[in-house]
Homo-oligomer: A and B are copies of this chain.
Amino acid sequence: MKIGLDVMGGDFAPKNEVLGAIEALPELQSGSELVLFGDETQIKAVCDEKGFNASGFQIVHTTEIIGMLDHPAKAFSQKPNSSMVTGFKYLSSGLIDGFASPGNTGAMMAGIMYTVKTIEGILRPCISCFYPVINGRWGLLLDVGLNADCKPENLYQYAILGSLFAKGTLGEENPRVALLNIGEEATKGNIVAKAAHELMKNTKEFNFVGNIEGNELMTGEKADVVVCDGFVGNVALKMAEGFYRLAGMQGIKTDFFDKLNYESHGGTPVLGVNAPVMIGHGSSSPKAIKNMILNTEKTISAKMLDRVKDIFKNSKIQ
């Protein structure tokens, strides 16, 4: 498979991106290739500095950059020779199987809307993240920031997407899906959570196990997949990342806390779109980039797209 990486979009581009790609290369499955989108001279300079032969990558030379301060949709139209736009062209033409970027998130979303598009039947795509569970497994939280204002129907669809994605990537046969809420009872929560619970309670489209509270998230006792709106999910994700830092400030280092570090995944997959797309932190370190690449490979390998398309063609909630 061919994994595309935008090496120009991050805050420390292209250095961290190329270094991360060099680190990822030996850990990829045999048959996987890395396609770097960016300025060829700069990419080669980083490789040379590292004593790495740049021919290990396929390089697609691009001349423009979409920066963090660019207007997302405008930048996408006005910079056709940027690394990001070129990457999306390759993705939608099938020249790469997945595309990852630590660049401007809004422009990444514009790129999705202009090229690969949302899967038919899906109201809004979302972004998800893996979180560590104390018993050593992983859970999946979504949405973690794409839709700050969600409707109950969005949360219902995230539950289906999360369930399929957990099955494909975490190997959970019948993932337990919970709704993040502020009480166990169906009557608890804000208006959206109450209505979402009502939609989910008797569904046969996923294995709904009810509400889950913030303190139960990482014990893994109740659920494998947790859905919430993008505002709450983003606060929860960042609190977890904050605890990694707070543990470090106290001189504490454990496997569990290490997994809370954003670098351990590096990127969040966009779910509900017609191709594997991964969005990373703007300030990604080489380690984060490496893990984002490995994560993209895992997402491509999960081959969940056909199944998702099938399900949403027939889903009642659209």
A231 and B148 contact, CB distance less than 8 A? no
Q: Are B219 and A246 in contact (CB under 8 A)?
A: yes
Chain A interface residue count: which class?
35 or more
Which of A219, A237, A243, A245 has the most B CB atoms < 10 Å from its CB? A243
Q: Does A56 contact B (CB under 8 A)?
A: no
Instruction: State the CA gap A232–B232 with chains docked (Å).
Output: 6
A231 contacts which chain B residues (CB < 8 A)? 182, 189-190, 193, 232
Q: Is A199 an interface residue (CB 8 A)?
A: no
Q: Which of A202-252 contact B (CB under 8 A)?
A: 213-219, 228-232, 234-243, 245-247, 249-250, 252
Identify A240's interface contact among B232, B239, B256, CB under 8 A. Answer: B239
Please name the 6 residue pairs, one residue from A and one from B, whose CB atoms are nearest each other, closest first: A214-B238, A215-B242, A148-B190, A214-B239, A182-B234, A215-B238
Q: Show the binding face of A for B, using Cβ within 8 Å.
A: 134, 145, 148-149, 180, 182, 189-191, 193, 213-219, 228-232, 234-243, 245-247, 249-250, 252, 254, 256
What are 13 A-B residue pairs whose CB atoms fall within 8 Å in the complex? A148-B182, A148-B191, A149-B190, A180-B235, A182-B231, A182-B238, A213-B235, A214-B234, A214-B241, A215-B245, A217-B242, A219-B245, A252-B252
